[in-house]
Amino acid sequence: MRTLLALSLVLFTGAAAAQQPAPQPPAPVKPTVGQEQSYPAKPEATAPAAEIPHRFWDTKNKSLFAGVLAARALDFASTKNMRARGRDEILLTNEIVDNTPAFVAIELGGAALSVGVSYWLHRKNHHKLERWVSIVHIGVTTFGAARNYMLETRRPAPATFRLVFRP
Ligand SMILES: [Zn+2]
């Protein structure tokens, strides 16, 4: 009986709560006359082509130039590897790439030229192209280096073989 009483009490209070009117949403705030709502001022329209100038040696360029240098180093290593496996250089001559100081100078020159072209574009306000020079350089050089490593080994015949058979 006590349980039934408690149950009916719970049901009754629950029903009473359900009969309460639903809470009303807050009344919209009416703007007072003479006080128009102010919106933030529209920013001045800027020409879409105008790019914000930046320092030439900013973080992005430093990273890109480091990438170019790394790509040149990869090209150097892969070309030397390819030559050691008996393959011939296509862009330069075998004599140049076999001459390590000359080849290092060419690789560094390539990187310096790339930075120079980027700087020229920066001065001409072509800041996107300026970055793309490095991006394309890294891409093409890395692809070439990968290709060098994938070339089939074609070792030259040993010197003794050549002496005997004169191929
Ligand atoms: Zn720039």
pTM over 0.95: no
Span from the CA of 44 to the centroid of ligand 1 (angstroms): 23
Angstrom CA distances, 61 to 45, 48, 51, 124, 132, stand at: 29, 23, 16, 16, 10
* Per-residue b or e along 24-46, where b marks 16 or more CB atoms closer than 10 Å to that residue's CB: eeeeeeeeeeeeeeeeeeeeeee
Whole-number mean pLDDT of the chain? 79
Angstrom CA distances, 88 to 98, 108, 112, 141, stand at: 10, 21, 26, 17
Mean pLDDT in residue range 60-88: 96
Span from the CA of 125 to the centroid of ligand 1 (angstroms): 6
Confidence (pLDDT) at 155: 80
Mean pLDDT in residue range 145-167: 75
Confidence (pLDDT) at 47: 53
* 53 or 158, which is more confident: 53
Span from the CA of 112 to the centroid of ligand 1 (angstroms): 17
| Radius of gyration for the alpha carbons in the chain, expressed in angstroms and rounded | 37
Q: Is the pLDDT of residue 46 over 60?
A: no
Distance between CA atoms of residues 35 and 23, nearest Å: 30
Cβ within 8 Å of residue 18, ≥6 positions away: none
C-alpha triplet 82, 102, 92: angle, nearest 5°: 50
Span from the CA of 54 to the centroid of ligand 1 (angstroms): 6
Query: HEC string of 68-131?
Result: HHHHHHHHHHHHHHHHHCCCCCCCCCHHHHHCHHHHHHHHHHHHHHHHHHHHHHHHCCCHHHHH
Confidence (pLDDT) at 53: 87
Residue 12 phi/psi, 5-degree rounding, is -65, -50
Span from the CA of 116 to the centroid of ligand 1 (angstroms): 12
Alpha carbon 124 to its chain's center: 23
3-state secondary structure of 46: coil
Span from the CA of 68 to the centroid of ligand 1 (angstroms): 17
User: 30 falls in which pLDDT band (50, 70, 90)?
Assistant: low
Span from the CA of 119 to the centroid of ligand 1 (angstroms): 7
Q: Is the pLDDT of residue 85 over 70?
A: yes
User: Which tokens go with 128?
Assistant: 């996107």
Span from the CA of 141 to the centroid of ligand 1 (angstroms): 23
